[in-house]
C-alpha cells in the first residue's frame, strides 16, 4: 500500500483535526461569553435589588411623611429673608462681637505715636523708591504691636531705660512678674491693687536690668561645666528677689 492511497485519509483527518481545533476555540469563546453573561445577570439582579431598596426607602421617607414629622415634632421652618447672606463679606461681618477687646486698646493706641519715630529711621532707607510712604506705615505698626504689651503694664520706665535691645525679651517679663503678683494678692487680701502695682513696677526694672547685663557676660566667660551650677544658684537667688 503506497502512501498515495492514504492521502485522502490524511486529508480527511487533518480537516477533521482543524475543524475540531476551531470548534474548541469557539467552545472556549462561548464559555467565556457565558461567564460574562452570568456576571452581567448578577449585575442586573443587583441593580434590581438596589431599585427595590431605593423604592422602599423613598416610600418610607416620602416628603409627606417628613412634613408630618416636621409639623408634629421638629417644627423647622423655612429660613427668613434676613438669614441669607450675600457672600463672604457679609459672613465676615457677623464675627464682629470678638472686637470687645478693643475697649482696652485705646490706651495702647495713645502710645502708638511714641515708637513711630523709632520706626521712621528703619523705614527711611526704604523710602528711596517711589512708594515710600506706603512701605513705612505697616512696618511702624508692627513695632507698635510689640510695644503695646509693655506700655500696658509698665507705663513709662522700660521705654526710657531700655530703648531697643530689650524689645525681644519684653514678652517674657510680664509672665515672670505676673505669678508672684497673684501670690501676693492671695497672701494679703486686704491690700489695695495700687500697692501691688507699685511693687511690680519696682520688681520689673530690677529683673530687666539684671537679665540683659548678666546673661551675655556669664555665658561668654565660664567653662561649660561651671556655669550650670552657677546658673542654678542664680536662678534660686533670682526667685527670692521678686518674692520680696
89 is an interface residue for other proteins by CB under 8 A: no
C-alpha cell at 78: 423655612
Q: How far is CA 58 from the centre of its chain?
A: 41
CB burial readout 128-159, b (16+ within 10 A) else e: eeeeeeeebeeebeebbeebbebbebbeeebb
- Quick one: which of 20, 30, 109, 168 contacts other proteins (CB under 8 A)? 30
- Quick one: which of 2, 5, 8, 82 contacts other proteins (CB under 8 A)? 82
Under rule CB under 8 A, which residues in 1-20 are in contact with other proteins? none
C-alpha cell at 203: 520688681
236 is an interface residue for other proteins by CB under 8 A: no
How many Cβ atoms sit within 10 Å of the Cβ of residue 169?
14
- Give the count of residues interacting with other proteins (CB under 8 A): 30
237 is an interface residue for other proteins by CB under 8 A: no
Residue whose C-alpha cell is 511714641: 114
| Residue 156, φ and ψ in degrees, nearest 5 | -115, -40
Of the candidates 156, 160, 149, the one whose C-alpha atom is nearest the C-alpha of residue 104 is 149
Greatest Cα pair distance, the chain, in angstroms, is 139
198 is an interface residue for other proteins by CB under 8 A: no
49 is an interface residue for other proteins by CB under 8 A: no
240 is an interface residue for other proteins by CB under 8 A: no
Q: Which is nearer to other proteins, 62 or 179 (CB)?
A: 62
- Quick one: which of 8, 75, 79, 220 contacts other proteins (CB under 8 A)? 79
80 is an interface residue for other proteins by CB under 8 A: yes
First to last CA, the chain: 134
Q: Which is nearer to other proteins, 22 or 122 (CB)?
A: 22
Please say whether the beta carbons of 85 and 91 come within 8 A. Answer: yes
88 is an interface residue for other proteins by CB under 8 A: no
44 is an interface residue for other proteins by CB under 8 A: yes
Stretch near other proteins under the rule CB under 8 A, chosen from 23-31, 92-100, 105-113, 198-206:
23-31
Gyration radius (Cα) of the chain, Å: 44
**Contacting positions for other proteins (CB under 8 A):** 23, 26-27, 30, 33-34, 37, 40-41, 44-45, 47-48, 51-52, 54-55, 58-59, 62-64, 67, 78-82, 84, 86
Amino acid at each position: 500500500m503506497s502512501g498515495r492511497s492514504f492521502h485522502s485519509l490524511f486529508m480527511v483527518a487533518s480537516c477533521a483535526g482543524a475543524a475540531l481545533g476551531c470548534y474548541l476555540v469557539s467552545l472556549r469563546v462561548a464559555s467565556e461569553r457565558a461567564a460574562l453573561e452570568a456576571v452581567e445577570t448578577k449585575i442586573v439582579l443587583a441593580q434590581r435589588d438596589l431599585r427595590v431598596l431605593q423604592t422602599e426607602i423613598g416610600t418610607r421617607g416620602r416628603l409627606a411623611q417628613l412634613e408630618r414629622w416636621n409639623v408634629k415634632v421638629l417644627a423647622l421652618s423655612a429660613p427668613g429673608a434676613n438669614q441669607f447672606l450675600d457672600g463672604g463679606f457679609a459672613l465676615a461681618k457677623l464675627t464682629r462681637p470678638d472686637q470687645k477687646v478693643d475697649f482696652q486698646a485705646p490706651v495702647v493706641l495713645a502710645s502708638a505715636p511714641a515708637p513711630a519715630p523709632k520706626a521712621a529711621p528703619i523705614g527711611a532707607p526704604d523710602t528711596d523708591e517711589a512708594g515710600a510712604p506706603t512701605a513705612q506705615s505697616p512696618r511702624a505698626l508692627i513695632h507698635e504691636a510689640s510695644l503695646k504689651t509693655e506700655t500696658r503694664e509698665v507705663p513709662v520706665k522700660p521705654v526710657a531705660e531700655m530703648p531697643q535691645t530689650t524689645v525681644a525679651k519684653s514678652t517674657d517679663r510680664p509672665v515672670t512678674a505676673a505669678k508672684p503678683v497673684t501670690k501676693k494678692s492671695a497672701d494679703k487680701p486686704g491690700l489695695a491693687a495700687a500697692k501691688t502695682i507699685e511693687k511690680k513696677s519696682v520688681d520689673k526694672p530690677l529683673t530687666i536690668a539684671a537679665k540683659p547685663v548678666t546673661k551675655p557676660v556669664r555665658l561668654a566667660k565660664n567653662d561649660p561645666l561651671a556655669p550650670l551650677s552657677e546658673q542654678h544658684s542664680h536662678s534660686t537667688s533670682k526667685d527670692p528677689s521678686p518674692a520680696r
